[in-house]
Structure 1
Amino acid sequence: MTTTTSTPPPYVDVAVGGLSTAEQVAISLVTVAALLGVVLLSRRESARREGRRSSLLATVGATAALVVATVVIVVVWDAETTAWAALSGFQVQAAMFVRAFLTVVFLVAVYVGTGFIHRGIERFLKQTKGVTEHQAEVTYRIVQISVYVLAVVVILGFWNVNLSGLLIGAGFAGIVLGMAARQTLGAVFAGLVLMFSRPFEIGDWVKVGDKDGIVTDITIVNTRLQTFDGEYVMLPNDYVGANEVINRSRKGRLRIHVEVGVDYTSDIDRAMDIAKEAMGEVDDILSVPRPQVVLKEFGDSAVLLDLRFWIDKPSARRRWRAQTAVIGAVKSAYDEAGVKIPFPQREVSGRAETGGFRVNDQPSVAGEPEHADQPGSAVRQDDEVSDADEGDETDE
């Protein structure tokens, strides 16, 4: 029986995956150099752009580069076999790590993608006229939330999570929350409508229902006004959307109406010319458009004239100052011209079958008081009082 002894072959530089040892070392060095370059570039970019977002993006970029470099080195040196063997003791499947790695990469991509979306929305809205920064921010937040919700759904599907039960539970939860907070949700939806329909902006002078003031803030839930008495009023957005909104400062000017009555015996055309001339001398109103005076209606005691004039940059202070100046100027002009602004008047008449209405100027004779049942007679108040006083003295 012959025993054959095998001798080990001399050392041969066997290539792993077709790569020699020198090539493995070179690739590893290049990978490490690239990793250091990415880290340094991220730090420089973070230092140049100061801010929390830039710092976070630099950290995420450096982490992603480190993960990629680790994977490259492991593959080049064929270390995945040893790594899987070490992990097999913990009974961890390779598919789980692959899914976890892909999940992390996907979340990083979604976060970075929202940054690009933010810049794209800002760039697009800057080219669109009439869109405020507040509206641009609200638009970005809505898009961001939508992207995150979609990303969560994709990740759950990637991990083979049954979404049917989750969706059913979310549906029931949505119904319960909707019933419990229907007023709040109504205010939220109304706030979104207000932000995009833009009936007013911060600083506008508006009237909402019976509330009048300056808009100080617009949130997703309510709108805040400062009244001219110095009070702050918080109006739910659903109340704002359900009521008439009057914006008095949107066009940059406002027309004001002032009524004045002149006597029926006055020359109406002359009174209108005097009022128009008086308004033309007031500095607090605009000369273009010109002030106007029109006949409005027949009043109980006077013919009513409607004085119409404009002010620019409308505000409550400018309105009351202009209105006060116009009233004072027209009153002074009418006094100088002898145009009468009458007091309220009433006409009193009696029926013809009773002899009409007559005023008795003769004093009554002592002991013979006038009686109210006599036709056309009038009993004076002082006589009644005197009789009452005499009766009181007699009783005493």
Structure 2
Amino acid sequence: MTALVAVDWGVLAIEFPIVGQLFATPTERWLGTLVLLVAVIAGSWAIRQVGRWLRVQYDPRGSLLEAAQAALIVAISVGATAAVLAIWDASAQATAISDVLDPDPTTVVRALVSLFLLVGAWGSTVFVKRIAGLVFEEHDAFSRHQHEVTYHVLQLVLYSLAIVVVLAVWGIDPSDILLGAGFLSVVLGLAARQTLSSVLAGFVLLFGRPFDIGDWVAIDDQEGIVTDVSVFNTEIRTFNDESVTIPNDVVTATGLVNRSRQGRLRVDVEVGVDYDDDVERARELATETMRDLDREEIRSNPSPRTVLTGFGDSAVVLELRFWIDDPTARRRWIAQTAVVAAVKNAFEREGITIPLPQRTLGGRPPDGLAIQSETPRTTDDEPDER
């Protein structure tokens, strides 16, 4: 095969006489290397700080800024590497390394084209996500969930096209891979069944929509707000501000509770009433108190109600039931706090007692466990001690 390009590895042997004069001794070279290292660290830190400021001021999502930051940091690193080679007069060593490697120019071109294709696919996904975000922000008819589904589908398409083109660059026919799908499926089934399961479960979640971004859910032992759904994982933010990543196969295999699905949520609060008090009056008073609460979190329809749920150790148990709109953990705790405080104050005004747990202790009669004989005991009944 004819070489596509002639690569002259002698370019790595560029001489830097001025640099050699500035850093003539080992001490000067070590100092120069240290200065470069500090400069790279400081430059990377400065780029990140400026990027954060620009993100806050102009681009909250920061996708394009992050890409620009990465490119600048890579450029600084490459420049610092070239400077270190010049400081230590390492052009000869670079030439020696290139002589040992001496790659085929065609291979070099293919590798570069493959790299550019993959980087281009990544950049395209970043661009598509940014454009899709702008489009969905302008059209209220589209939900955040539809945005995520569209982005992940386009991401899969772009990466698939890039991989197919890379295979073509290396002279690999994609049909050859399809012909070996039987063997490949066995290998993947043994080595990557967990990953494939997560991917399939991810598409089930994306298209089945058991929850949307921003919903309040309970998955396995975790509870919080859904912040992202990818083809591999579901990410939720707990009420302790912790970010929890759950594999999608775990999400589909375990029970999932969506507290935001219906747009309302019933909250239950238990309270005990003393056995000596008028339980029916306590029930009516609790219901009236909840209905009279002027809180925007508590719904008037369905109206609050109180039911008797059982007998406790020291009280009859009442369950206060009320509904809240737009369920969130904060709204639930605000409404629950208001109900508990209002019912307690109402019971105190009406003289209804909320008893503390108590236990009645008593003794048995002194002869309760005594065993009495019907006939008096005689001396003949004494045991034989012989």
TM-score range, shorter chain: 0.5 to 0.7
1:319 aligns with 2:332: yes
**How far apart in 2 are the matches of 1:222 and 1:171?**
27
**How far apart in 2 are the matches of 1:272 and 1:332?**
14
**Length-normalised TM-score, structure 1:** 0.51
**How far apart in 2 are the matches of 1:162 and 1:190?**
26
What is residue 146 of structure 2 aligned with on the other side? 132
What is residue 287 of structure 2 aligned with on the other side? 276
**How far apart in 2 are the matches of 1:229 and 1:143?**
37
What is residue 295 of structure 1 aligned with on the other side? 308
Contact 2:275 2:316 in 1 (8 A): yes
What is residue 214 of structure 2 aligned with on the other side? 203
1:193 aligns with 2:204: yes
Deviation of the 1:169 alpha carbon: 3.1
**How far apart in 1 are the matches of 2:200 and 2:218?**
21
Q: Secondary structure at the residue paired with 2:301?
A: coil
Task: Map 1:98-109; keep pairs closer than 5 Å.
Answer: none
What is residue 329 of structure 1 aligned with on the other side? 342
What's the CA shift string for 1:156-183, capped at 9, x where partnerless?
Answer: xxx9x896x6545343233223321211
Count of residue correspondences: 236
Letter in 2 for 1:189: L
What is residue 355 of structure 2 aligned with on the other side? 342
Contact 2:148 2:229 in 1 (8 A): no
Deviates more, 1:282-291 or 1:324-333: 282-291
What's the CA shift string for 1:338-364, capped at 9, x where partnerless?
Answer: 0011111212334456359xxxxxxxx
Contact 2:289 2:346 in 1 (8 A): yes
Q: Which of the numbers 246, 249, 252 marks the counterpart of 2:263?
A: 252
**How far apart in 2 are the matches of 1:289 and 1:171?**
58
Deviation of the 1:216 alpha carbon: 0.4
What's the CA shift string for 1:74-109, capped at 9, x where partnerless?
Answer: xxxxxxxxxxxxxxxxxxxxxxxxxxxxxxxxxxxx
1:217 aligns with 2:231: no
Letter in 1 for 2:240: D
What is residue 235 of structure 1 aligned with on the other side? 246
Percent identity of equivalent pairs: 50
**How far apart in 2 are the matches of 1:321 and 1:133?**
32
Deviation of the 1:142 alpha carbon: 6.4
**How far apart in 1 are the matches of 2:178 and 2:324?**
58
Q: Secondary structure at the residue paired with 2:271?
A: strand
What's the CA shift string for 1:363-396, capped at 9, x where partnerless?
Answer: xxxxxxxxxx9xxxxxxxxxxxxxxxxxxxxxxx
**Larger-gyration structure (1/2):** 1
Tell me: higher relative CO, structure 1 or 2? Use CA pairs within 8 A at least 6 residues apart: 2
What is residue 286 of structure 1 aligned with on the other side? 299
Deviates more, 1:212-221 or 1:345-354: 345-354
| Structure 1 residues 190 and 307: alpha-carbon distance in aligned structure 2, compared to 1, 3 A threshold | same
| Structure 1 residues 148 and 255: alpha-carbon distance in aligned structure 2, compared to 1, 3 A threshold | same
Deviation of the 1:138 alpha carbon: 4.5
What is residue 278 of structure 2 aligned with on the other side? 267
Contact 2:152 2:230 in 1 (8 A): no
Note the aligned Cα RMSD (angstroms): 4.0
**How far apart in 2 are the matches of 1:146 and 1:312?**
44
**How far apart in 2 are the matches of 1:132 and 1:353?**
79
Contact 2:273 2:315 in 1 (8 A): yes
Letter in 2 for 1:310: W
**Length-normalised TM-score, structure 2:** 0.52
**How far apart in 1 are the matches of 2:153 and 2:177?**
28
**How far apart in 1 are the matches of 2:220 and 2:174?**
50
Task: Map 1:75-224; keep pairs closer than 5 Å.
Answer: 132-138=146-152, 166-224=177-235
Q: Secondary structure at the residue paired with 1:354?
A: coil
